[in-house]
Amino acid sequence: MDLKATALLKLVYLEMFGHDMSWASFHVLEVMSSAKYLQKRVGYLGAVQSFRQDTEVLMLATNLLKKDLTSTSITTMSLPIITLPHVITPSLALSVLSDLLPRLTHSHPAIRKKTIVTLYRLALVYPETLRPAWPKIKERLMDEGEDPSVTAAIVNVVCELGWRRPQDFLPLAPRLFELLVDSGNNWMAIKLIKLFATLTPLEPRLVRKLLPPLTNIIKTTPAMSLLYECINGIIQGGILDSTDDSIGGEEIATLCVSKLRGMVMVEGDANLKYVALLAFNKIVLTHPYLVAQQEDVIMECIDSPDISIRLRALDLVVGMVNSDNLMSIVGRLMRQLKNSRSATAEELNHQPAPIEPTADSDDESPEVAIKTDKGAAEAPLLPDDYKIDVINKILDMCSSNNYGNLVDFDWYIDILIQLVRSAPIPNSSSLSDDSNMGRNETSNLDVSERIGDELRLVAVKVKALRLQATRAAESILISTYNDTSSQLTSGSGVLRAVAWMVGEYASSLASPDGTLTALLQLTKASTSAEGLNIYLQALPKILSLIAGDEHIAWTPERKTMVALLMARIIHALEPLAVHPDLEVQERAVEFSELLKLAAEAASGQETSRDGDQQDAPLLLTQAIPFLFAGQELNSVAAGAQKNVPIPQGLDLDQPINPNLNNLLRAVESASFDKPEQDEFEVYYHQQQPPIAISSNEPAVNRLGAREEPVHSYQQGSEESYLDPDIVARRRAERMERNKDDPFYIAPTEDRSGRSTPLHNILQSNNGPDLDIDSIPIMQLDLGKTSPLSQLSPKKISSHKPLQRIQVAADETLATSGTSTPRYDDSENSLDGPQRQKHKGKSLLQVDSSHIGAFSLEGDSSSGPLDYERQKREDAEMAKAMQEVERLRLEMQRANERIQAAQGVEGTVVKKKKKKAKPVGTEADSGEAVTVVKKKKKAKPAVMDEGEAASEPVEVVKPKKKKKKAKIDEGEQQSIVD
């Protein structure tokens, strides 16, 4: 047996390297049954490593496990207890439960602790374990003299069960609170705080009770883990969301934010920064102004070398942004994009070389003298995924609340142009898979498409900025055609939105001819059907602007120009008539035939001559422009389409043509030749390749100096993240806007970059010989100066007020109830589709999803708890109690009426007699006496006939509670007698 135990120990070692040892399960069982403890321990170790739920010999080990559980030796008893969690099955749990429960009352605390943990694992597989085990576990928890290790194990089990069914553990709150206050175990305190975070939503009164100890722990504990769990428990427990002012939510939030700031500022611990940023992301939902005050430390995390910290800080700045800090935050992110670089193909395929230590001597440590990286001085390398995330966050921040945080839309348009130039280029594989993916996934592949959509949205919703937005789209389109160094291609997503803008708002173009030429080139080079559809739609719109002006005379020059222009467009459209995409075919054929008709009409129209005025063809001036004139297109809310009712009888799943797949397959197999370029197109509309010009200046003068970091409190100006052409245009617009402002000092034209010495200025203006005496002196007579009140009033121009920008709301149907788009993919959206949680196995490799419906109360025959049935039963019980109370009150009132009618025995207390208003009676006239009665019936009083005839009738007002009538003194005497 010793030899077999040694061989099994070696086999267990080999199994740790991935070798299978399931074939030796029977030998493991033999070693487990050994009488010697050392051999038995090796056997149980082999069972832990090799036994699974489907192991056949596990059935044979049941009796051995039951036998060892009842052993008198503590070490032998511990072996099956620590092995069961790894090999447990429902049938095995049912068999060993009766032997495992008595171990909860064992005299040794280590056995009790291990038994509690093992019972939790049994409950995950076999939930009926909790019925007999929970009373004993609860008894151990309530025992104040229990060993701390056993109490910690129970708290751990309760915490794991509590997040599934927290309502079952509310009765334990006093004992758990006592452990939280008195226990000095940080690990147990962390578990208790997590448990209380799930209990406070069920019992709001716990919030007021938990705040003093949690606040004390936050202020005094030196353990960062406990500090973070206290803050996280306050956030998850809904204490910060409480509307009760007496709790002091603002003071607690301020304390938590200050402690989190200290965690972020700890140098050298990236884990603390990460968890602190996670907590900041939760606090920003309820107290964004407090988090915005920590902008300095959060923005420092944006430039952290750890990419995970950057991403968490990036998520945080979106929630803390407002109109005051928007431009500074976006400028910081834009500088990060501009100063970074993307990985080249060599760097992507590069394998890291081993580090070569270079120690100068034997005494020096090799780690200290590691060679520095040669590329450390280069621009930081950022992955494209992070760049895409940064661009998406910038767009989210600027467009939030329907552009409510934007104060300068001109600046935002320039930011969009710069983002187009900084956006990473998607690879060819991403573009090839573009057609097989959804719209959301596509926008992640080519982020420039979203930038173009945002520019188009600004043009549609902000009419005051429509001209600037259209000019920006025009510059992007023309630069793509003219600039050979541009990263944009005909398949870029931004060009689709840009082409739509230049076609829809063609009247705002600065150079319609150049825009039309760029569109024609993109149409010939584009391979994407979606892009071609938009390009083809924009071409006739720009043509109608150029050739459709009816106020310009129809001269021979204009006739020739229009004819050539239409010939160029027809030449570009004719090859697309056989395009594989059906929509591209339709648009190409329609527009080419329309332009052919217009060309025939233009060729047949006589031109204007001396004294003979001829108009342009109506097909050009009225018919074609009116095709695109009509109602203005506005933005539509995202949820408006869902509100459109589906017509009856319409089956959207029914195919239009059953043979459509064969038709499309036949079209795909057809060849599509690239159109040849004619000499006319090459000569007039293609840019010549740039000619390299050699320079004689030294190479060191042509090297770009490294940009020094900006240490200004404004974090640098616009020049640090905008291209020079955008900066020059903005400077020219600013000078033009402020030219009449007396408080604005305009820069001089002949300024120099460096300061010039004074003697050089004097020599350049006065020559080498300078005569000081020749300088004229002006005499100033201060007495003759007129006061300011006598000066002629001058009109002082004030600062130009900011233009009030009106942003249009999204259009929607009346039934939708909202005009703003709703993001249905958010986890916090109540109206959107809820995300299905991944119901996978936990780290214990056990499916414990069914334990959430298991109740710790009731008999074993009861099934899962039905919440609807329980609610109905509670309502019926409350209704029955109300009925019982109503019957009891009726019986009590009936009894009081009977006692009042029979008379009250005993001494009657004489009360003050209130004067009642006499009822008007006329005894002489013989009219009946009228008594006005209240709604409640007055109790009849016991009176004699003589008293009733001699005394006037009084209205007696009965009391509500005591049903006793007022009795006169004579009547009281008769009752006493």
Identify whether 171 is part of a domain.
yes
559: containing domain: 408-629
* pLDDT given at position 437: 44
**Distance from CA of residue 286 to its chain's centroid?**
14
For residue 903, the model assigns a pLDDT of 60
Its sign, for the CA torsion 858, 863, 865, 868, is negative
pLDDT of residue 885: 87
Give the CATH number for residue 467: 1.25.10
Q: At a CB cut-off of 8 Å and minimum separation 6, what does 415 contact?
A: 330, 334, 394, 398
Residue by residue, what is the 3-state secondary structure of 738-782? CCCCCCCCCCCCCCCCCCCCHHHHHHHHHCCCCCHHHCCCCCCCH
Residue 844 pairs with which residues in a beta bridge?
A: none
* Domain match, 812 and 911 both: no
Contact assessment for residue 494 and residue 488, using Cβ atoms and an 8 Å cutoff: yes
pLDDT score of 271 more than 60: yes
Residue partners of 109: CB distance under 8 A and separation at least 6: 147, 149, 150
Residue 56 sits in a domain whose CATH number is 1.25.10.10
For the beta carbon of residue 152, count every other beta carbon within 10 angstroms: 18
Asked if residue 183 and residue 35 are part of one domain, the reply reads yes
Provide the strand spans (E) within 376-532: none
pLDDT tens-digit map of 760-817: 555 555 555 555 555 556 555 555 444 444 434 443 344 445 556 778 777 776 554 4
Last residue of a domain, one of 629, 663, 683: 629
Label residue 178 exposed, middle or buried (CB < 10 Å: 0-12, 13-18, 19+). exposed
Same domain, 128 and 252: yes
- Amino acid residing at 587: R
Q: How far apart are CA 684 and CA 813, in angstroms?
A: 50
Predicted local confidence at residue 75, as pLDDT:
92
Q: Is pLDDT of 4 > 70?
A: yes
Structure confidence at residue 351 as a pLDDT band (50, 70, 90)? low
Clarify whether residues 7 and 105 are in a common domain.
yes
In a shared domain, residues 836 and 877 = no
Q: Report how far residue 546's alpha carbon sits from residue 769's, in angstroms, rounded to the nearest whole number.
A: 64
| Alpha carbon distance 643, 818 (integer Å) | 11
Who's near 451: CB < 8 A, 6+ residues apart? 391, 395, 416, 419, 420, 423, 494
Answer whether 225's CB lies under 8 Å from 186's CB: yes
**Does residue 119 carry a pLDDT above 90?**
yes
Taking CA atoms, 376 is separated from 341, 342, 373, 380, in Å, by 13, 15, 5, 8
Are residue 670 and residue 744 in the same domain, yes or no? yes
- Residue 176, pLDDT > 70, answer yes
- The answer to whether residue 279 is domain-embedded is no
How far is it, in rounded angstroms, from Cα 1 to Cα 38? 11
pLDDT at 709: 46
DSSP character at residue 267: T
Q: Note whether 583 and 536 are within 8 A (CB).
A: no
Q: How many alpha carbons fall within 13 Å on the CB side of residue 805?
A: 19
Q: Quickly list DSSP for 103-133.
A: GGG-SSHHHHHHHHHHHHHHHHH-GGGHHHH
Residue 343 is predicted with a pLDDT of 59
CA distance 259 to 252: 11
Residues 244, 250, 251, 256, Cα dihedral to 10°: 120
| pLDDT for 84 | 92
Residue owning tokens 């803390």: 320
> Given this model, what pLDDT does residue 745 score?
72
pLDDT of residue 444: 46
- pLDDT, position 798: 40
**For position 122, what pLDDT does the model report?**
92
Mean pLDDT of the chain: 75
pLDDT of residue 80: 92
Residue 169 and residue 139 in contact, taking contact as beta carbons nearer than 8 Å: no
Shared domain for 106 and 81, answered yes or no, is: yes
Indicate whether 56 pLDDT > 80. Answer: yes
The predicted structure's pLDDT at residue 688: 58
Which amino acid makes up residue 429?
A: S
When divided into structural domains, the chain yields a total of 4
Distance CA 479, CA 417 (A): 11
Is residue 476 assigned to a domain? yes
Distance of CA 879 to the CA centre of its chain: 45
pLDDT of residue 608: 79
DSSP secondary structure letters along 888-929: HHHHHHHHHHHHHHH---SPPPP-PPPPPPPP---TTTTPPP
Q: Do 43 and 5 meet the contact criterion of CB atoms below 8 Å apart?
A: yes
Q: What is the pLDDT of residue 687?
A: 59
Q: Which of 594, 629, 664 is the last residue of a domain?
A: 629
User: CA-to-CA distance for 956 and 306, rounded, in angstroms?
Assistant: 90
Q: DSSP string covering 564-602, please?
A: HHHHHHHHHHGGGGG-SSHHHHHHHHHHHHHHHHHHHHH
Residue 530 has pLDDT above 80, yes or no: yes
811, β-bridge pairs: 636
Q: Is the pLDDT of residue 826 over 80?
A: no
Read off the pLDDT of residues 590-603 as tens digits, 9 standing for 90 and up: 999 999 998 888 88
pLDDT score for 855: 61
Q: Provide the token pair at 197.
A: 């975070």
Q: CA-to-CA distance for 859 and 843, rounded, in angstroms?
A: 31
d(CA 199, CA 191): 13
Do 517 and 578 have their domain in common?
A: yes
Alpha-carbon distance of 494 to 473, in angstroms, equals 9
Q: Are the C-beta atoms of 197 and 229 separated by less than 8 Å?
A: no
**693 and 838 assigned to the same domain:** yes
Residue whose pair of structure tokens reads 């209130």 in the numeric block = 914
Residue 660 sits in the same domain as residue 617: no
Q: How far is CA 546 from each of CA 511, 550, 565, rounded to the nearest angstrom?
A: 10, 11, 9
- What are 284-296's pLDDT values in tens digits? 888 888 888 888 8
Does residue 667 sit in the same domain as residue 616? no
802: three-class secondary structure by DSSP: coil
The phi, psi pair for 357, rounded to 5°, reads: -70, 140
- Given 793, 810, 845, the domain boundary residue is 845
Residue 292 inside a domain? The answer is no
Answer whether residue 696 is part of any domain: yes
Question: Cβ-count burial of 557 within 10 angstroms (0-12 exposed, 13-18 middle, 19+ buried)?
Answer: exposed
- Taking alpha carbons only, the member of 30, 40, 115 closest to residue 76 is 40
Give yes or no for residue 842 having a pLDDT over 70. no
Four-CA torsion 398, 402, 408, 410, nearest 10 degrees: 80
Distance CA 374, CA 159 (A): 52
- Residue 381 in 3-state DSSP? strand
pLDDT digits (tens, 9 = 90+) for 131-157: 899 999 999 999 888 899 999 999 999
| Distance (Å, whole) CA 751 – CA 748 | 6
Are residues 617 and 701 located together in one domain of the fold?
A: no
Q: Which of 347-361, 368-382, 882-896 has the highest mean pLDDT?
A: 882-896
Judge whether 270 and 306 are in contact, CB under 8 Å.
yes
Measured in residues, the chain has a length of 977
Cα 149 to Cα 116: distance, rounded to the nearest angstrom: 11
Long-range contacts from 384-388, C-beta under 8 angstroms, 24+ separation: 384/342, 384/343, 384/424, 386/307, 386/310, 386/311, 387/337, 387/340, 387/342, 387/422, 387/423, 387/424, 387/447, 388/423, 388/424, 388/444, 388/447
pLDDT digits over 703-740, tens only?
Answer: 444 444 444 444 456 777 777 778 787 788 778 777 77
| % residues pLDDT > 70 (the chain) | 68
In a domain, 762, yes or no: yes
- pLDDT attached to residue 703: 44
pLDDT at 566 over 50: yes
List, in order, residues 6 or more apart from 952 with CB less than 8 Å away: 918, 919, 921
CB 93 within 8 A of CB 71: no
The whole-angstrom separation of Cα 796 and Cα 680 is: 58
In this predicted model, what pLDDT tens digit does every residue of 549-565 receive, in sequence order? 878 888 888 888 988 99
β-pair partners for 381: 341
CB of 373 within 8 A of CB of 305? Answer: no
Q: Is residue 100 part of a domain?
A: yes
Q: 505, 541 in Cβ contact below 8 A? A: no
Q: Is residue 366 part of a domain?
A: no
